[in-house]
Amino acid sequence: MLGQGRKAQTKLLLLLTVAAGIAPAYAGDAGTLTMRGSLGAEIRAFTMRPAYALQDSDPVQGSIIANAKLSWTSANNDVVIDVAPFLRLDDTDDERTHGDLREAAVTVYSDHLDLRLGISKVYWGVTESRKLVDIVNQTDLVEEPEGDEKLGQPMVMLRGHVADFEAAALVLPAFRPRTFPGSEGRLRPALAIDEDRAQYESGERTGRVDVAGRLKGRIDDIDIGLSYFSGTSREPRIVFDGTTLAPVYDVIDQAGLDVQATLDRTLLKLEAITRDGHRGSDARRFSAVVAGVEHTISQIFETAWDLGLILEFNWDDRPSSAPPTIYDKDFFVGARFAFNDDGDSSALLGALIDAEKGSVYATIEASTRLYESLRIEIEGSFILHAGDRDSVLRQYRDDSFLSVRLIHFL
């Protein structure tokens, strides 16, 4: 087991060495170095006392967050190196205290081809309520329950593009296990999910070499992406292993489709996947779709504000033994405000409504600039109603929270 972990590390080291090997060729190149960073302080206040044993009884959780990004661009602009470390120190949950290299990659560009080596982030998809197609990077779930924060993924990515078409091929030599809140933390099931007890279908464990690819094209107002992934599922099944809950990472195949039509003030969006490979008791191939519309009304109420109205429908027919999801048959309604002001203020209010189980899950995100280099971000997540049959959402029904973050940009 240790040996497998070491194997993954060796591969990663190899990748970084290759990346570093390219660097001396540019040693004489002054290029451009840019640095940016931020320091943040966050408080997260839960509306209710914790439901489970071992959880910290203090309803307020405090954190300090540091982000940095160092980038170097060669003088003729054909090589870019990025290094982006991240660190969170949390006063409640040891598992939430963590660091990560979000990026540590070198990318070499030519007119129609680029090659990236190292740790990086790749985003695929178009919809708002669920990131269905996006699969390359693992979710850094301790960051926030929506799963929008991602861990850096070691990769070799080759991309080619001609006119409005792009093809990408990725080799992913190391797997990043998902992060989960610890036993003192909130936003977890009755038992904490123990990352150290992770089970893998692949004998290579985190060292399995996964592959992925995507074709993307634009024809007038329509953007289409077709993607494929073969490797260790980023989403684990959660099983009780006799002691606690353990994540189980199966090897899957997934094909994805993402489409956006951009029509003046209206965006039509669709994401769909079909996936096979999870091994649970009633395992079978399953599919999922999220589709919807975002319509923007400009200068509402005779102000400079833009209001985007979002309506999406989620459908997912995964079997009960597959990794749990709350998006099985759900509507999402949302309102996105762009205030077009000095502070680049924005807000997104949304509600996910389960069409069968009646659950209502509301979210809010808002931010504005207070001073030149200080920004405030507010994030809230509220389970307004957890339906009796909604076994997934019910586990978190006492974990509604509002978090406030002050971020100073350096």
Partner 1 sequence: MVKQRVLCVSALLIAASVLSADASQQLPGDPKAKGRDITAESIRRDAGFGDTRSEMTMSLMSDGAEVSRRTLRMSVLEEANEQLGDKSVIFFETPKDVQGTVLLTHTKILTPDDQWIYIPAISRVKRIASANKSGPFLGSEFAYEDLTAQELGKYDYVWLRDEACPAPDAARKCSVIQRRPLYENSGYKRQVSWIDNTDYQFRKIEFYNQEDRLLKTLTLSGYQLHEGRYWRPHQLLMVNHQTGRSTKLDVTELKLRTGLTQTDFTEQAMERLR
Contacting positions for partner 1 (CB under 8 A): 31-32, 34, 36, 38, 69, 71, 73, 75, 77, 80, 82, 107, 109, 111-112, 114, 120-123, 148, 150, 159, 161, 166, 223, 260, 262-267, 296, 298-299, 304, 306, 340-344, 369, 372-373, 375, 407, 409-410
Q: Please, what is the minimum distance in Å from the beta carbon of residue 152 to partner 1?
A: 11
Q: Please state the closest distance from residue 104 (CB atom) to partner 1, in A.
A: 14
Contact 316, 288 (CB under 8 A): yes
- Closest CB to partner 1 among residues 166, 253: 166
Distance, CA of 380 to CA of 370 (rounded, Å): 20
Dihedral angle computed from the Cα positions of residues 179, 180, 186 and 192, in that order, rounded to the nearest 10 degrees: -160
Pick between residue 196 and residue 342 the one whose CB is nearest to partner 1: 342
Q: Using alpha carbons, list the distances in angstroms from residue 207 to 174, 194, 232.
A: 5, 19, 10
Nearer to partner 1, 122 or 383 (CB): 122
Q: State the nearest-atom distance from the C-beta of 282 to partner 1, in Å.
A: 35
Least distance from partner 1 to the Cβ atom of residue 390, Å: 29
Minimum CB distance to partner 1 smaller for 130 or for 159: 159
CA distance 329 to 272: 14
85 or 277: CB nearest partner 1: 85
CB atoms near residue 137 (< 10 Å): 22
Taking the complex as a whole, how short is the minimal distance between the CB of residue 375 and partner 1, in angstroms?
A: 5
CA distances from 49 to 59, 60, 193, 264, 393 (A): 6, 10, 20, 47, 17
State the minimum distance, in angstroms, from the CB of residue 225 to partner 1.
Answer: 11
Rank residues 132 and 407 by Cβ distance to partner 1 and give the closer one: 407
- Is the Cα torsion angle 292, 298, 300, 305 positive or negative in sign? positive
User: What count of other Cβ atoms lies within 10 Å of the Cβ of residue 24?
Assistant: 8
Between 9 and 373, name the residue whose CB sits nearer to partner 1: 373
Q: For residues 327 and 332, what is the distance between their CA atoms, to the nearest angstrom?
A: 10
Please give the span between the terminal C-alpha atoms of the chain, in angstroms, as a whole number: 42
Minimum CB–partner distance for residue 181 and partner 1 (Å): 22
